[in-house]
Amino acid sequence: MTAVEIAAAVRSGQRSARSVVDEHLDVIADGDADIHAFNLVAAAQAQARADEIDGAVAAGNDPGPLAGVPVALKDNLCTRGLATTCSSRILEGWVPPYNATVVEQLQNAGAVVVGKTNMDEFAMGSSTENSAFGPTRNPRDTSRVPGGSSGGSAAAVAAGFAPVALGSDTGGSIRQPAALCGVVGVKPTYGLVSRYGLVAFASSLDQIGPFTTTVADAAAVLDVIGGPDARDSTSISQPQPPVSHTLADGVDGLRVGVLAELSGNGIASDVAARLQAAVGALESAGARVAEASVPAAVYGLSAYYLIAPAEASSNLARYDGVRYGLRVDGSSTPDMNTATRSAGFGDEVKRRIMIGTYALSAGYYDAYYGKAQKVRTLIINDFASVWEQFDLLVSPTSPTTAFSLGERTADPMAMYMSDVCTVPVNLTGQAAMSVPYGVGDDGLPVGVQIMAPALGEPVMFRAAAVLEASL
């Protein structure tokens, strides 16, 4: 059953929330040893919450639009009473004293948290191989990666462990694993979903969004978690435009651009073929399709890998062995700080902290970080120009289908190229989502990326629904 179907059945009394939750916990128990989607399964808490929802239904109360829906949470979302580790030794065992806003919103809507999912440490990676607790495997082929950094969340939905999962997207960390695992993944407009309680990687880029098996489920979740939050200074103050009611509106007359800079060189031929099939489906549904160009997008990856590490260098300075998390004793405070961070952070996190610290250092700031911000502005301006001509843009989500475990771990640049199609939209703060659209030559899923201007989610979801229906 989809999330929408589960909620309808629970709200009407046709199914109990407890039976739904127990069913999914059984699937997790049977299958997660092969996948490792979860760092923590909260069985007892989930069952207790399900019983509360059933009690509300029995009393004639409506538990909410996601009543009884099992939800998996990426392990960088704070959960009161449940460990939040960011898949890092430096936070192993840390239990937050509060919930992230999105966790509160899901619970208020009747959803049931079933566990915390594995991820690349501090969301730094594209394969979920950088976790301190071991890699996650792709349910479509366990010899392949699920993508990253939200690979555990994508895998949980693809494997049927939960109909909904939340992830975070800093440079494609929702959309890329969604594509590789064959599920729907949404990166909302920056500021549309509160970041309060999300452990920060790069604060000007991070955004929370859902994974689901259907477009309608993603819309239902976004309608719950979107909206203003006074606790997040970057939250958009205006109400979120609802998306669920637009799904049947179609794309007739919409102007859709195929983004040339993200659809040409470097894209595998089988992925390109699926994009063309998707373009054909949009044209058949009445969209007016033409080639679009955002010239500065080709510099997106270069700018991102200066801006994101620079912000990470600042954000991760708080893990010093003093306030919380791991502490390794030393003969002095600086020795303790060094020993703690050396033992607590993995290689990829250390690499990005060093890159970011270098880019921010005296004598190099203007040459690296400052120039990257200027390039970011060029990308924003180029997108602003293209939105005058188009309502939506499309491209592949990932240049390839899922690659083999270990294939790119020794070559950081090859790994970073996995995000070449997704990072430009993080730099601009616009909306984007990945919709599964068939398989490549290897039989593995291919995702098509739909991009929209800021707060363009209602139109974006209309196109996603058309693509889904065309399959």
Residues involved in catalysis: 74, 149, 173
Which residues, in sequence order, are bridge partners of residue 116?
A: 40, 73
Sorted by sequence, the CB contacts under 8 Å of residue 174 that are 6+ apart come out as 150, 153, 154, 167, 168, 185, 186, 187, 209, 211, 434
Which of these, 31, 342, 17, 338, lies nearest to 158 by C-alpha position? 31
How many residues would you count in the chain? Answer: 471
Q: What 3-state class would DSSP assign to 71?
A: strand
- Whose CA is closest to 137, among 23, 24, 33, 29? 33
Dihedral over alpha carbons 258, 435, 146, 34 (to 10 degrees): -160
Alpha-carbon Rg for the chain in angstroms: 21
Decide if 326 contacts 88 (C-beta within 8 A).
Answer: no
Q: What is the DSSP letter of 171?
A: S
Distance CA 393, CA 381 (A): 15
Furthest-apart CA pair in the chain: how many Å? Answer: 70
Q: Report the SS3 class of residue 196.
A: coil
What burial class does residue 345 get, using C-beta atoms within 10 Å of its C-beta: 0-12 exposed, 13-18 middle, 19+ buried? buried
Instruction: Give the separation between CA 54 and CA 276, rounded to whole angstroms.
Output: 47
Q: Is 239 exposed, middle or buried (0-12, 13-18, 19+ CB in 10 A)?
A: exposed
204 close to 311: Cβ distance less than 8 angstroms:
yes
